[in-house]
Structure 1
Amino acid sequence: MALDALIADIRAYEPFNEQEAVDKPVILRALTAGPACLDRSALAHLACSIWTVDPTFTRTLLVYHNIYDSWSWIGGHADGEADLASIALRELAEETGVEDARLVPCGPGGIYSLEVLTVDGHEKRGRYVGSHLHLNVTYLAVADPAAPLRPKPDENSGVRWAALDEALALSTEPWIRDRIYRKLIAKLPAVQPR
């Protein structure tokens, strides 16, 4: 049932820009082909991210990602589950220590953005992981910047709040910074409470 709900939410989601318009049918094709894309063994598999901001929508929470060697957003794999909003909140807690974030109602099912992300081959926990695609669904959350932070040493070596423009400067991944983070920041005024 959760997979059917996710498919319906993505179908109903209105792309924000050309990148999302191109990526949305790619994600839907994989999802409607069956549940195999929920498993990270699939070449193109489902993942989720959570763009976390403070209550003023002027700062975002970043982790220093060990594999990408860059400050980045928070996220993880579906690993057989289709309730990506719950996974995104769980990843936020695991990777940063933030327990009381709340999702901001955005698009259908709370979807904030969609993207197909390329992941180059890399070492993880002493094993080689081949290049693959993340069929990514992003959610938006608000968290208290005074909440205690802690890294997850097997995945990141730092957690910090950064002003939105500083977050762009901290990223060493040009495509992610220019295509994804700039998009996530550009979308904030439309969902920010007045």
Structure 2
Amino acid sequence: MHRQPLLDALETYFSRHPAEAETVGPFRQFVEAEPDCFERHLSKGHVTGSAWILSSDQQRVLLTHHRKLNRWLQLGGHADGDPDVLAVALREAREESGLHDFELVLPGIFDLDIHPIPARASEPAHFHYDVRYLLLATGDESYTVSEESHDLSWVPLSEVPQRVQETSMLRMLEKCQNIQPGIA
């Protein structure tokens, strides 16, 4: 089954983060129940892949001021049928930033989130089942703003709480700081 690698990764994630059962349970149920969970056409929701990208000095995170949602967020996007969600997160990170060189900081999933996406034009309101990975930029950190963003910015980790309001973004910041003792 093409969903089994993600289901296995969700199980591993849950074993590391049992306090997140309220997210992992519904996420797992969605993936088990929906054979098309990686397809954007699934109108109730779909799996997305995201990247929390740290600078090489591990003191900044690359955020996008998302054009459609008009908020500062991590980079990421739709799986569009690809069940390899890490590959999706890496593809989206490259497409949305112009950066090419990344290193996976942790094996497996860094964070999970289920969040609503408002209706827009012909697209109904739906949910993104977002799988997030922790990446380190290892090459040139000069980015290019894509048409999906108003802007990109390397934000010092200490300034993330002033830039974002989403609980899940602050949770990733906290996880990042707990995993990397040298991170501010």
The TM-score, its normalising length taken from structure 2, stands at: 0.88
Q: Report whether the alignment pairs 1:161 with 2:154.
A: yes
Aligned to 1:187: 175
Aligned to 2:124: 130
SS of structure 1 residue aligned to 2:131: strand
CA 1:180 to 1:130, structure 2 compared with 1: closer, same or farther past 3 Å? same
SS of structure 2 residue aligned to 1:152: coil
In structure 1, what is the Cα distance between the partners aligned to 2:67 and 2:159? 19
Runs of 4+ in structure 1 deviating by more than 3 angstroms, as ranges, are 15-18
Aligned to 1:51: 52
Aligned length: 180
Letter matched to residue 157 of structure 1: H
In structure 1, what is the Cα distance between the partners aligned to 2:4 and 2:37? 14
Structure 1: segments with no counterpart, 5+ residues: none
CA 1:87 to 1:183, structure 2 compared with 1: closer, same or farther past 3 Å? same
> What is the aligned-residue RMSD (CA, Å)?
2.0
1:6-28 CA-partner distances (Å, limit 9, x unpaired): 1111012136475x320111111
The offset of 1:55, in angstroms, is 2.8
The offset of 1:2, in angstroms, is 4.8
Structure 2: segments with no counterpart, 5+ residues: none
Aligned to 2:104: 103
Aligned to 1:79: 80
CA 1:62 to 1:112, structure 2 compared with 1: closer, same or farther past 3 Å? same
CA 1:57 to 1:2, structure 2 compared with 1: closer, same or farther past 3 Å? farther
Aligned to 1:39: 39
The TM-score, its normalising length taken from structure 1, stands at: 0.84
Match of 1:170 among 163, 167, 179: 163
Identity %: 28
